[in-house]
Structure 1
Amino acid sequence: MSSTSQDGVMLSVNPLSCLHDEPVSIKVSGLKPGQDVTLHSSMKDVRNVHFMSYAHYRADGNGEVDVDVMESLGGEYEGVFPMGLFGSLAPAPNEYKYTRFFKRDVENPNIVTISVHDGHLSAETLCSPEASKPLSSVVNERHYMAPGVQRIPVRYGKVRGSLFLPPGDGPFPGVVDMFGTAGGLLEFRSAQLASRGFASLALAFFNYDDLPKGLEEFDIAYFEEAVEYLLKHEKVLGYGVGVIGTSKGGDLAVSMAAFIPSVIACVTINGFFAPFGQGLRVEGQLYPPFKWDQDRLMISDDGIINAKACIPGHKYVGKYMLPLEKSHSAFLFLVGIDDQNVNSEFQAQGARKYLSSHNYKHGCLVESYPGTGHLLEPPYSPHCYASFQHTFMSAMCWGGSCKYHTLGQERAWEKLQKFLRYHLVERVHISNEKYVTSVRLRSRL
């Protein structure tokens, strides 16, 4: 839990090993009253890119610093921010500044070194080879997979991905999990969902294995096959599944909810309520996509692209809308108010209004988080304001401010789990109880 230096300075991180979505407490003792110190966090990804954060604190009259309750006076953030040393992790000064942290090796934890240094130091000083030795340091292991979670590579028909199963016999509520135009296979959310009791299929849909290398027209049959795989699995509850989609994955999730009856819970995170960029084919019928209006791209002085204004507004609602009113799914739209990539608030409210106009009975919730950007991931993923994006071969703005984005992560993750657990487990149980009661009453009559 702690490390003590020869000078008697003790740095404690509690717990030392935890799941990635769990907070830790950081405290320092043995300092001089009023001593200025810098707390520093550091880790490397699988590409060996160095990410770091730092914050300036001043010891109290007892020579102690408690990050949970004390204000940072400077560094990457200011004010009280208990998980600031994790949420503000960003590329070190010698790295490309618009690098996004992707967790690719979910079977191994993030190894984060926390250290305390004398004085208020800069990022450059902390990363310098001549930097003085820290007063004390501790390593925090942050796991994506709880003990007993299984990762199973999936090649089922045309379906490609990885299934994550919680420990135990099950059966567990099943979820299909998708991301956006980053492509490939991203597993970090599914690994964490399995750690919280869900059987989660991390589903790739392009640029992975033998799937198409680029984004092309989609066929709903591919996603139906993924749902079929989940429902056939002996450890998955067979009543229906949930889907989660971020960004481009959001309109794929909505499409699945619209056309696959066994999808009974749909979570869209800063996504779309109609096909975007690529069309959707359903049994021979093509639902056309709406496109970027690239004439409306905004580029900042430092070359960062803001695409929010490029997505059409009200004029496309009727033309491109999917028949969501025919869905059997409850909907949850999670929205970052400061999303600078998608006009996600409009997307979510548009879906809600559309469903309301059709007296939709299964429910549609919109949860919005101020100061939160596009990349709304499980806690405590490093906040990324902008990163290189292959669509434009340039840095893309995602938005959000670190402190509010981290808070949004916490709240959205809790809401997502409660929503899925209710609609995949509790609501099904209630419906079954009502059905059994109805049968019993009819048999008595």
Structure 2
Amino acid sequence: MLQHPQVKGPGIGLLGISLGADICLSMASFLKNVAATVAINGSGTSGSRTIHYKQTSIPPLGHDLRRTRVTFSGILDIVDIRNDLIGGHENPSMIPIERAEGPILFIVGQDDHNWRSDFYAQTASHRLEAHGKAKPQVISYPGAGHYIEPPYFPMCPASLHKLPNKTVIWGGEFRAHSQAQVDAWKQILSFFSKHLGGTQDRVPPKL
């Protein structure tokens, strides 16, 4: 990525949502030249599979599908299927984000029904502080669900989830979620501009 002609360097920025956020956090923790990371509704844990990098293995936190609930519409709610984060920020399934070279921005929806994103972001923040790192920026949006995407993308209230192989709800109130997407995009651009270099005097994107 550093060799790409459109990458200014000397570092790169990473942006991920959900599992993609956890992949970005893992990359920032183990790879060099990651100058800034944005994690949207990630968990900061290994989730359902072991993370391997060289001699390091992070065991999965695991889940229990028996904790799945069925909503009034018949769609599944899986927000509570993950196992408890015993030990908090020192749980062995936590991604060692204290190793990251650059700052991390956590963006979370308080109505996320994939998992407790707000709780995980606060736990990650405690982990960084416990390891002598600066407190990260956590932007939390009331009424926002799981898929906080770029502005004006339609909210995805429910869709097929691979784990239960059924439709699940993602949470979010339409107005609050849409407003969160507009504001979050501004926050992301500002964060990357600050830590990757560049200018905030840019033409706003129009769809």
Match of 1:205 in 2: none
Contact 2:158 2:168 in 1 (8 A): yes
CA shift at 1:266, angstroms? 0.9
Instruction: Determine the C-alpha separation between the residues in 2 that align with 1:239 and 1:262.
Output: 7
Contact 1:372 1:399 in 2 (8 A): yes
Deviation per residue, 1:406-428 (Å, 9 max, x gap): 000001111011111111116xx
Instruction: Map residues 58-207 of structure 1 onto 2, 5 A cutoff.
Output: none
Match of 1:299 in 2: 70
Instruction: Determine the C-alpha separation between the residues in 2 that align with 1:375 and 1:236.
Output: 27
Matched, 1:241 2:34: no
Pick the aligned partner of 1:349 from 122, 126, 131: 122
Residues 349 and 380 of structure 1: is their aligned pair in 2 closer, same or farther, counting only changes over 3 Å?
Answer: same
Q: Which runs of 5+ in 2 are unaligned?
A: 199-207
Deviation per residue, 1:104-135 (Å, 9 max, x gap): xxxxxxxxxxxxxxxxxxxxxxxxxxxxxxxx
Deviation per residue, 1:180-202 (Å, 9 max, x gap): xxxxxxxxxxxxxxxxxxxxxxx
Instruction: Determine the C-alpha separation between the residues in 2 that align with 1:278 and 1:367.
Output: 27
CA shift at 1:282, angstroms? 1.0
More displaced, 247-256 or 231-240? Answer: 231-240
Pick the aligned partner of 1:413 from 181, 185, 204: 185
TM-score normalised by L of structure 2:
0.89
Contact 1:388 1:395 in 2 (8 A): yes
Matched, 1:253 2:24: yes
Matched, 1:289 2:31: no
Deviation per residue, 1:330-380 (Å, 9 max, x gap): 01110001111110001100001111112214x511000111000110110
Deviation per residue, 1:389-416 (Å, 9 max, x gap): 3332221110111111100000111101
Contact 2:105 2:136 in 1 (8 A): yes
Instruction: Determine the C-alpha separation between the residues in 2 that align with 1:264 and 1:327.
Output: 9
Contact 2:16 2:39 in 1 (8 A): yes
C-alpha RMSD of the superposition? 1.5
Pick the aligned partner of 2:159 from 387, 392, 413: 387
Matched, 1:328 2:93: no
Could you tell me which amino acid in structure 1 is paired with residue 63 of structure 2? W
Contact 2:78 2:114 in 1 (8 A): yes
CA shift at 1:292, angstroms? 1.6
Match of 1:275 in 2: 46
Instruction: Determine the C-alpha separation between the residues in 2 that align with 1:294 and 1:372.
Output: 24
Contact 1:387 1:396 in 2 (8 A): yes
Of the two, which has the highest radius of gyration? 1
Contact 1:388 1:396 in 2 (8 A): yes
Which structure has more relative contact order (CA 8 Å, sep 6+)? It is: 2
Instruction: Determine the C-alpha separation between the residues in 2 that align with 1:311 and 1:390.
Output: 15
Contact 1:372 1:408 in 2 (8 A): yes
Match of 1:262 in 2: 33
SS of corresponding position for 2:15: strand
Instruction: Determine the C-alpha separation between the residues in 1 that align with 2:18 and 2:178.
Output: 18
Contact 1:241 1:264 in 2 (8 A): yes
More displaced, 399-408 or 234-243? Answer: 234-243
SS of corresponding position for 1:232: coil
Instruction: Determine the C-alpha separation between the residues in 1 that align with 2:176 and 2:55.
Output: 45
Pick the aligned partner of 2:141 from 369, 388, 393: 369
Instruction: Determine the C-alpha separation between the residues in 1 that align with 2:56 and 2:87.
Output: 19
Contact 1:257 1:327 in 2 (8 A): yes
Match of 1:319 in 2: 92
CA shift at 1:301, angstroms? 3.4
CA shift at 1:316, angstroms? 5.6
Contact 1:254 1:274 in 2 (8 A): no
Match of 2:169 in 1: 397
TM-score normalised by L of structure 1:
0.43
Deviation per residue, 1:297-347 (Å, 9 max, x gap): 111233211111112333164221232222102011100011111100011
Could you tell me which amino acid in structure 1 is paired with residue 129 of structure 2? S
Contact 1:303 1:395 in 2 (8 A): no
Count of residues in Structure 1 that have an aligned counterpart in Structure 2? 196
Contact 1:304 1:396 in 2 (8 A): yes
